[in-house]
A and B are shown apart, each in its own frame.
Chain A
Amino acid sequence: MLKINNLHVYYGGIHALKGISLEVPENKIITLIGANGAGKSTTLRAISRLVSASEGEIIFNNEDISKLKTTEVVKRGITLVPEGRRVFPDLTVLENLKLGAYLRNDKKAIKDDINHVYEFFPRLKEREWQLAGTLSGGEQQMLAIGRALMSKPKLLMMDEPSLGLAPLIVQDVFEIIKMIHQEGMTILLIEQNAMAALKIADYGYVLETGTITLEGTGQELLNNEQVKKAYLGE
């Protein structure tokens, strides 16, 4: 579904991605793990075209999307749940969800999908009219995920959805990712919480300072000595 070939990204003089290649097949959960500053967010931001790649291809369903505008990438069906949730704090929960459906015009279906999001996250329904900025961190993450689902993506990318959340809530978040996946969603997940991510992932890549150093199925990586030492704290 998504295939990245030899992707390079620079921030001024900083060479943040040094030619990475990876693949996200349909209906799979793929995870990208790595330490802080490895270039995980940059990878997702490059796919969403929030940053420009200086070299390389991003092929989505046989089309090179590496020169498109962000809006166009969203139209193609790729949605990013950004790092730090980035809900719109002074818009209501409902307005945040409606913004997720910005490119859609099917009023009736949007309404159904909002209700579907509320089934996933009943707390959001209770807080429908509340400003998003008043939600707790966990609730904001639910909202950020719900908002992304509202665009009806084919590929859902999530940048550290568990970051800064209490352990119990982290569990919830991973449960939700699994549920979304069971409904047929293809997911590209970035995590510092490597253990939890590899457990639910079909396939994973390890990113170190802009280079992919290891890859394998979730299970393989969980058993890999290097991964155990560096990312699983064993």
Chain B
Amino acid sequence: MTLQEFLQNFANGISLGSLYALIAIGYTMVYGILRLINFAHGEMIMVAAYIAFYTVFIFSMPWYISFFIAIIITTIVGILVERLAYKPLRSSPRVTILISAIGVSFFLQNLGIVLFTGRPKAFQVPTLFSQVYTIKGVNIVSLTFFIPTITVVLLILLVYVINNTKIGMAMRAVAKDYDTSSLMGIDVNKIISVTFGIGSALAAIGGIMWSMKFPQLTPTMGLMPGLKCFIAAVLGGIGNITGAVVGGFILGLTEILLVAFLPDLSGYRDAFAFILLILILLVKPTGILGEKIAEKV
């Protein structure tokens, strides 16, 4: 492999890893606060992608307004999913909520098929994101720069909110102890909604960028990235935001580099993530940065 090829793949891996990281955060935040693997999280990618597609396609909106609307609506969908499908089950056994999450995931996929048909739609990538630059013989599309940049900015913002604002403090408190948080006057339900909102907004942004990178929309498009981001979150240590980011980048980079170095194995690209999941669960079930999380009292 030439240096150029390596750099190209590396840039690709970083941008894929950024997307994984962005979406993995939603899994990890929800797990942190509810001890729930939100299997419907991947569907937020699909929801955001279709809204962005249709607002441009039907209403001919400029892309930035369409993206903005897609992010807002997806955020609302994420919050509603929690309110309608998880909150009523909050005192039920954990596995009941898990099943509900899987149900919501299937429901949204099938709703997508009903509303948008199963036929793939081609996502229109705004020219800002589709310009190709040639740097020292390496061809790189502008999106490859935008994705990690946007991701880093969002991560900094998120870390700031969580560590330095009142609502962030409340989120950390609720993640530890509902009862004591409510004794502080914190509205626990509101904080859980905020958490779902933030996770869904990040997934929406990730989903829109995903659709620009892989511009083909189907109602089940959220499934595979959703699973991989879940794996990224487990790899980094579920419940830990930094872990989700680390896991996302590791997964994205290894996936791309594996295919680049061992092209014969490229058919196993998706299987690789699952093999990785099995390995982590065998070797270090708490993930790279995870610590044992106590059962919620």
Q: Looking at the complex, which one of B172, B177, B179, B186 makes contact with A102 (CB distance below 8 Å)?
A: B186
Q: A99 to chain B: which residues have CB within 8 Å?
A: 169-170, 173, 181, 184, 186
Q: A80-B183, A100-B184, A102-B186 are in contact. Are A90 and B176 (CB under 8 A)?
A: yes
Instruction: Supply 9 A–B pairs (Cβ within 8 Å), ascending by A.
Output: A74-B185, A82-B179, A90-B172, A91-B172, A95-B169, A99-B181, A102-B185, A103-B184, A103-B185
Count chain B residues whose beta carbon lies closer than 8 angstroms to a beta carbon of A.
16
Measured in the bound complex, the distance between the Cα atoms of B173 and A7 in whole Å is 31
Size of chain A's interface in residues, with CB distance under 8 A? 23
Q: Which of chain A's residues has its CB closest to B189's CB? A: A69
Any A CB within 8 A of the CB of B166: yes
A75 within 8 A of B: yes
Q: Is the CB of A98 within 8 A of B180?
A: no
Is A79 interfacial (CB-CB < 8 Å)?
Answer: yes
B182 and A75: CB pair below 8 A? no
A residues lining the B interface (CB < 8 Å): 48, 50, 69-71, 74-75, 79-80, 82, 86, 88-91, 95, 98-100, 102-103, 147, 151
CA–CA, A151 and B182, complex, Å: 12
Q: Are A79 and B183 in contact (CB under 8 A)?
A: yes
Nearest 5 A/B pairs, CB to CB? A103-B185, A70-B182, A74-B185, A86-B180, A102-B185
Residue of B nearest to A80 (CB): B183
Tell whether, in the assembled complex, residue A71 and residue B185 are in contact, meaning their CB atoms are under 8 Å apart.
yes
- Decide: A82 and B180 in contact? CB cutoff 8 A: yes
What are the residues of chain A within 8 A of B176 when measuring CB–CB? Answer: 88-90
Q: Judging by beta carbons under 8 Å apart, are A50 and B182 in contact? A: yes
Shortest distance from the beta carbon of B164 to any chain A beta carbon, whole Å: 10
Q: Which residue of A lies closest to B172 (CB)?
A: A91
Q: How far is the CA of A126 from the CA of B289 in the complex (A)?
A: 30
User: Given A88-B173, A99-B173, A151 and B184 touching (CB < 8 A)?
Assistant: yes
Judged by a CB distance under 8 angstroms, whether B5 is at the interface is no
> How far is B176's CA from A89's CA once the two chains are assembled, in angstroms?
8
